[in-house]
Amino acid sequence: MEGLKSVADTRKLSNGVEIPCVGYGTWKTPDGEETVRAVVSALQCGYRHIDTAQLYGNEESVGRGIRESGVSRQDIFVTTKLKNTEQGYDSTLKAFEGSLKRLGLEYLDLYLIHWPIPGMYKENWRQVSRDTWKAMERLYEEKLIRAIGLSNFLPHHIENIETSANVQPTVDQLEIHPTFTQKETVRYCQDKGILVEAWSPLGHGSVLENETLKVIGAAHRKSVAQVALRWEFQQGIVPISKSLNPDRMKQNSEIFDFQLTEQEMKAITDLGEEGRTGPDPDNISF
């Protein structure tokens, strides 16, 4: 983390590709002008890492926002994710082509399998995941994607991919926030050189009234949101923050001028594992 002073500063993935240390997310931002404006505003605030997904239904607007921002494409790190119903070798290749077309891009910086799918593909899920990964490896080898990775994959899902992988996952994007730390999965990924990203880094707002975070924030003259994002950042996690308000976007980017103590980090981590806001990766069926 030494030397990282802004959301545009980068970490290195295991394949050498540089990824900005804080991302801007677009989940639940509807397709249309709202998403275009949000992406333009985020890039004007200094973000250089834009995260979307086929499932979000807003890839076209994200692409428009990137083009209308005036920021050079090579300076922007763009992630999208494969929809669950499109998993499998041939369908992954087709889905990727659709995402690239909607985004209006010639290549992607990062492509993720959005979820493991035991709940959807039942006893066949292991083979479907491996076939999907083979298609992503092909796209990576054809240089249409700079890095490939996973989202919401727990250790047993990752191990399944690795049984036949030629290219190891570079990223696992997980729901992580102060009341759902997923510390065991984070440790597992980091031990394997897989960069962890945090979606819903504020627990969909559920952590904003937490008294522990309020006390720590007051000590540093920072908001609860800034404390939560800094807690993730200090673990080596890349938080994917989201706001439609440019002032809040800017505030969420201002996490580089303070440091949480070891005691504060532990106090936040000790808030626990009971605050999941999204689906269970072993049971999701959409």
Catalytic residues: 56
Q: Residue 261 corresponds to which tokens in the numbers above?
A: 């103590």
> Which whole-number Å values give the CA distances from 210 to 92, 179, 269, in the listed order?
41, 9, 13
Q: Which residue has the tokens 């999208």?
A: 80
> Which whole-number Å values give the CA distances from 2 to 9, 211, 254, 256, in the listed order?
11, 29, 16, 11
3-state helix/strand/coil string of 97-125: HHHHHHHCCCCECEEEECCCCHHHHHHHH
- In terms of phi and psi (left: phi > 0; alpha: psi -120 to 50; beta: otherwise), the region of 27 is beta
- In terms of phi and psi (left: phi > 0; alpha: psi -120 to 50; beta: otherwise), the region of 57 is left
The torsion angles phi and psi of 214, rounded to 5 degrees, stand at -65, -45
Beta bridge partners of residue 11, listed in sequence order: 19
Beta bridge partners of residue 39, listed in sequence order: none
* Tally of CB atoms within 10 A around 72: 8
The torsion angles phi and psi of 239, rounded to 5 degrees, stand at -75, 140
Query: Residue 155 and residue 81: Cα distance in Å, rounded?
Result: 19
